[in-house]
Amino acid sequence: MLIHKLTNFSANAGGNMKTKSILLIAIVLIGFNTISAQNFNDALRLSDPEILTSARALGMGNAYLSLSNDFSASLFNPAGFALIKKMEFSGGLNYNSFKNDAQFFNRSTNYSSTSSNFNQFGFAFPLPTSRGSLVLAFGYNKFKDFNRALKFSGFNSNNNSLIQSLTNDNDDVAYELGLSYPVYDSNNKYLYDETKINGKLNQSGNIVQEGNLNSWQFSGAIEFQENLFIGLTINIINGDFKRNREYWEEDLNNNYPLQLLLDNNDPFTADFQSFYFNDIIRWDVSGWNGTLGILAKVDENINFGATIKFPKSLEVNEIYTVDADAKFGTGKRYFLDPPIENRVEYTVITPIELGIGASYSLSGMTVAFDANFIDYTQMEFSEGFDTRTRENKNKDIKDLFKKALNLNAGFEYMLPFTGITVRGGFIFMPSPFKDDNSDFDKKFITAGIGFKAGQRFVFDVGYSHGWWKDVGDNYGSNLSRTFQSITKDNLIFGIKYLF
């Protein structure tokens, strides 16, 4: 069974209080306490590594663990700082383009979004030593970009809908909009909700995500014996995330005509036209972690590197809002008034990452290879819920995810007598879900160029093009599913100044 990342509506939008009375509408709305069901998608969003690094590293496919001889060591291997001989400043600007071709009930819809921002600046300071080296560094990296987009539209001829799903969950949103009605027993005791909606609706929607994770980084590295270096980076993390989902269900074929009341006690619920559902998640994220690295120069040509990226402890302050309305041919339009809002705080612990890399240099050519191991089953909700809820969420993580080995390969070649360096590489990031086939693995090809201007300035450009598949469910499992073909392009401009 395929349970996947971009579940379009993975959370209930209502509560479990059901005392059906117009006088109690305000109480019911206030009583919603399960508006947003945080789940494995949220943990993965914070744990899945990005390719956003520096221009030089990206051009080489991020195969940088055994090199790391500039400020990008803060992202890869802090031991590489000890290779720096002169004080330097580094800065970078990133442009990101995300494109999604979604197949939904035999209709294809293209959608895209872009973002651009400064992604790096930092200083490295070699300190005087009698022998060996000692280097300190500090700066800023934007290491994760949440930019994503999805749009879809198609006619679902089957007997299901989000309205029915909400009703089956006894969700008050459908009731407040006149789309469902309460059922009572012979003693006038409330039993459950029912709806006369039975699918056969046009379904459409769009999802836009934005935001970043950033870190202020403080690093140090030493050569503790000849040609053997060790380094440490402490990351102070902050960031934000916003996901805005809009969804419509429309009766384009007049399957619910003027003669049909969705609620027999409400004459305005005839001639159903459309249902609109909008939910927005906003995060404020803060946390920290550390990276420990070693780097060994075997000889003038061969380097080895190894790192431990310790788990990130990320505190999420979430605001979740829901708005919805329903239109009827009688001229009546029902709204959620006011929209529902829920606030929650919780902590996610990301998995440890273990990396090894090697590089070989000869006659201006350098080739490099990295492997990074991540056990996604170690993602964890550590705070913010009662014990039973937290254990259930963490059990889902262990049931759905697997271990993964990300691979990076790259090269750079310095053209003789020109000051120009050309680069290329490949990145392979397998899907962290147990049941995914290779279509869901992320693949990137990369390229880059560098130019040294005089003795002080170095300019770099790095580019990557990635592609993979994804799916998303609007409700249930494979009832209203988008099949997505995704491409992602990054372009990073970098500058380095040597003092």
What pLDDT, on a 0 to 100 scale, did the predictor assign at position 274?
98
More confident residue, 337 or 23: 337
Domain boundaries, the chain: 22-498
Tokens 């404020």 -> residue: 284
- Does pLDDT of 24 surpass 90? no
What is the rounded distance in angstroms from the CA atom of residue 146 to the CA atom of residue 148?
6
Section 241-253 average pLDDT: 97
Which pTM was predicted? 0.91
The percent of residues above 90 in pLDDT, for the chain, comes to 89
Section 236-254 average pLDDT: 97
Task: Lowest mean pLDDT of 96-100, 169-173, 240-244, name the range.
Answer: 169-173
What pLDDT, on a 0 to 100 scale, did the predictor assign at position 15?
38
Section 202-211 average pLDDT: 97
What pLDDT, on a 0 to 100 scale, did the predictor assign at position 23?
31
* 49-107 residue pLDDT tens: 999 999 999 999 999 999 999 999 999 999 999 999 999 999 999 999 999 999 999 99
**pLDDT confidence of 5, banded at 50, 70, 90?**
very low
**pLDDT confidence of 156, banded at 50, 70, 90?**
very high
What pLDDT, on a 0 to 100 scale, did the predictor assign at position 7?
45
Average pLDDT, the chain: 92
- Does pLDDT of 32 surpass 70? no
Exposure string over 268-303, b if 16+ CB within 10 A, otherwise e: bbbbbbbbbbbbbbbbebebbbbbbbbbbbeeeeeb
Phi and psi at 276, nearest 5°, equal -120, 135
What pLDDT, on a 0 to 100 scale, did the predictor assign at position 328?
98
**pLDDT confidence of 37, banded at 50, 70, 90?**
low
What pLDDT, on a 0 to 100 scale, did the predictor assign at position 130?
82
Task: Lowest mean pLDDT of 12-16, 360-364, 444-448, name the range.
Answer: 12-16
What pLDDT, on a 0 to 100 scale, did the predictor assign at position 454?
87
Residue ranges with strand state E in 298-419: 302-309, 313-328, 333-335, 340-349, 353-362, 365-375, 380-383, 403-414
The percent of residues above 70 in pLDDT, for the chain, comes to 93
Task: Report the CATH architecture of 22-498.
Answer: Beta Barrel (2.40)
What pLDDT, on a 0 to 100 scale, did the predictor assign at position 132?
86
Residue ranges with strand state E in 84-227: 88-104, 107-127, 134-145, 148-156, 181-184, 190-194, 201-225
